[in-house]
Amino acid sequence: MAEQAVASLEQQPVYKQELKRSLSFWDLLIYGMVFMVPIAPFGIYGSVAQGSNGMVALTYLIGMVGMIFTAFSYARMSEAFPIAGSVYSYAQRGINDSVGFIAGWLILLDYIFVPALLYLVSASALHDIVPQIPIVVWAVLFIAINTVINVRGIEFTAKANKIIVILELIVLAIFLAVGVTAIIKGINGADFTMKPLYDHSHFSMNVVMGAVSIAVLSFLGFDGISTLAEETKDGSKSIGKACVYSLLAVGALFIIQTWVAALIWPDYHAFKNPDTAFYQIAEIAGGTWLKVLTIVATAFSWGIANALVAQAAISRILYSMARDRKLPGFLAKVHPKFQTPYLSTLLIAVVSVIVTAFFSSQIGKLSSVVNFGALSSFLFLHLSVMNYFLRKKKSKNYVAHLLMPLIGFAVIGYVWINLDPLSKKLGFIWLAIGIVYLIVLKLFKKDTALNLE
């Protein structure tokens, strides 16, 4: 169990260094890119294209600009508190212990269920290609592979991430090369135009922002970098830099690939199925082989790559909350050889199997739960920046500590308001459970509260 001491603002609780410090800035950058998935638009392209009246590149540009303010807030707090726990630790120290628990509880809603969602989406895609293999079999295979990698150590995970991101970029490069060639040849009426970025005749801010509420979810994941704060060897500033740079890098890739796709298929109303629109475009551009390649790449990017880093991130949050005695203590156990929170990792594997089986035909509901948790925790993050730096530290840097988090709060708040009713209903149920649990902790385990004032 981690050692806990002191309780003043300047003298934060000191934790025993149990996790292995081995990650460089580049490891963190790649981790963030893998978490966001460089080819994420493959899976939701049709919905974004139709929702934005074809201005899909503009949608991702706005989404990237909006989310960059959240990345800046992560950078500010990770520099102030270079510890595992992400938004749980930041809200706990930036506001107070109880708010920190609620923020952590909300991010759990995202991170606990997102691996299962990723496994389910990937398994369903592969089941369509090889229907003889049940969805559950694919899901269990993915879970087993990722669990072994994550238990063996963050260095092993980092090496796997490098291989994964290279393969994703190769697939993306192939699509772009074939796609640009198709545009030059004028296949399917393709022509170079600025319309995917701005189409005056169809532009409406309300319409585009509605599409942003979908597209912005492709950027979720850069925040997972902050959970590795106790495993980086380059200092606290590398966490913030990696958050910002990974977001910018992936955002640029999102804009380029969706622009090319929009040029190949200008009539965004003519998709046979919006859920498979990108694969239709790939087939038009290069044939069946490119369609199959993009489907398989999407499946493995989500089921192996994205789920791998998601499992690593949530295990660190469970570890952080458990050592603060907000969750059962066994979740803070670290493997004696691999120096990883292995019991938290194994728990997520078990939960993923159960959730995958339960939601096997309800991907939409599972997705709604994930979205509520992520966006709600981001709101707490921005509040933490303003409260910690302005009220507690008396900062006069109003641009970094007031204006930028306010913009981030407004952007995330807009997206949050536009979440579907089911997402909010399930999210508030989860929040209510968390509040009841917090009350129980305070009534029967009063010594669990960390005095951070």
Sign of the C-alpha dihedral, residues 148, 150, 151, 153? Answer: positive
Q: What is the pLDDT of residue 360?
A: 67
Q: What is the crossing angle of helices 135-152 and 154-185, to 10°?
A: 130
Which of helix, strand or coil describes residue 403? helix
Q: Note the pLDDT of residue 364.
A: 59
Residue range 53-66, pLDDT digits in tens: 999 999 999 889 88
**In the block, which residue shows the tokens 């238990």?**
151
The one-letter code for the residue type at 277 is: A
Residue 99's pLDDT is 92
User: Which domains, from first to last, does the chain contain?
Assistant: 22-443 (1.20.1740.10)
What tokens were used for 414?
Answer: 């807009």
Decide if 62 contacts 355 (C-beta within 8 A). no
CA gap 15, 230 in Å, rounded: 10
Cα distance between residue 166 and residue 396, in whole Å: 43
**Stronger pLDDT, 418 or 271, i.e. the higher one:** 271
| Model confidence at 12: pLDDT above 70 | no
Copy the structure tokens of residue 411. 């952007």
Question: What pLDDT sits at residue 14?
Answer: 53
Other beta carbons within 10 angstroms of residue 442's beta carbon come to 14
Rounded average pLDDT over 388-403: 94
Contact 339, 152 (CB under 8 A): no
Residue 121 scores a pLDDT above 80: no
User: Pick the residue with more confidence: 222 or 39?
Assistant: 39
Phi, psi of 210, rounded to the nearest 5 degrees: -65, -40
pLDDT number for residue 6: 32
**What is the dihedral sign for C-alpha 159, 161, 165, 168?**
positive
Report residue 9's pLDDT band, with 50, 70 and 90 as the boundaries: very low
Name residue, tokens 């009063």: 446
What confidence score (pLDDT) does residue 8 get? 38
Q: Which residue from 442, 420, 308, 309 is spatially nearest to 369, judged by alpha carbons?
A: 420
Please provide residue 204's backbone torsions phi and psi, each rounded to the nearest 5 degrees: -150, 125
What single letter denotes the amino acid at residue 308?
L
pTM of structure = 0.79
Least confident stretch, 151-160, 253-262, 359-368, 443-452: 443-452
The whole-number pLDDT of residue 393 equals: 93
Spatial contact of 2 and 16, defined as CB atoms under 8 Å apart: yes
Q: What is the mean pLDDT of the chain?
A: 83
**Poorest-confidence range of 66-70, 132-136, 250-254, 394-398?**
132-136
pLDDT band with cut points at 50, 70 and 90 for residue 453 = very low
